[in-house]
Amino acid sequence: MHHYDEPVYLISIVAKILDIHPQTLRQYERENLINPSRSDGRIRLYSQRDIDKIKLILRLTRELGVNLAGVDIILNLKETIDSMEKEIADLRHEVQTAKSAHSVAPEKSLVTKKSLYEMIVFKE
C-alpha cells in the first residue's frame, strides 16, 4: 500500500481510473489546478491526493458547471479554509493545554494587561 502523498500513478493510469483523456490532465496542469510530481525522466507521477483533487475538479466542472477559472478560485479558497481550520485546531489545543496547566505564559496570553491609570493632558 502506498502513502497518500506518494506519487506512483502514471498519467495513463490516472486517465483510465477517472475515465478522462490524458490531455485533460495536461490542461489542468497548464491551468495550475494540479501539480503532479515528475520522475527523473520527466514523466508525470500522480499521488492519491492528486487523484482526489482531480475528482473534485471533475465534480465542480461536470456536475456544478464551474469553469476552470472558478475551479481555481474554489481550490484556493478551500486551501485557505483548510489552513485556517488547522490553525484554529492548533489554537484550541494550545488553549486547552494552558487551561489544564492553569497558567498561560505572558507572550501567549489572549488578554494583555492595561495600565490602571490613564493620563489626559489638556492644552490651554
Residue 73's H or E segment, with its range, is: helix 68-101
Residue 47 domain flag: yes
Residue 90 forms part of a structural domain: yes
Whether 115 maps to a domain, the answer reads no
Residue pair 17/51 in contact (Cβ under 8 Å)? The answer is yes
Tell me the pLDDT of the chain (124 aa) as tens digits: 789 999 999 999 999 999 999 999 999 999 999 999 999 999 999 999 999 999 999 999 999 999 999 999 999 999 999 999 999 999 999 988 888 876 656 666 665 556 556 655 666 6
Residue 117 lies in a domain: no
For 28, the grid coordinates are 489542468
Q: Evaluate if pTM is beyond 0.95.
A: no
User: Can you give the three-state secondary structure of 8-68, one letter per residue?
Assistant: CEEHHHHHHHHCCCHHHHHHHHHCCCCCCEECCCCCEEECHHHHHHHHHHHHHHHHCCCCH
In a domain, residue 45? The reply is yes
Residue with cell 492595561: 114
The number of angstroms, rounded, from the C-alpha of 78 to the middle of its chain's C-alpha atoms is 6
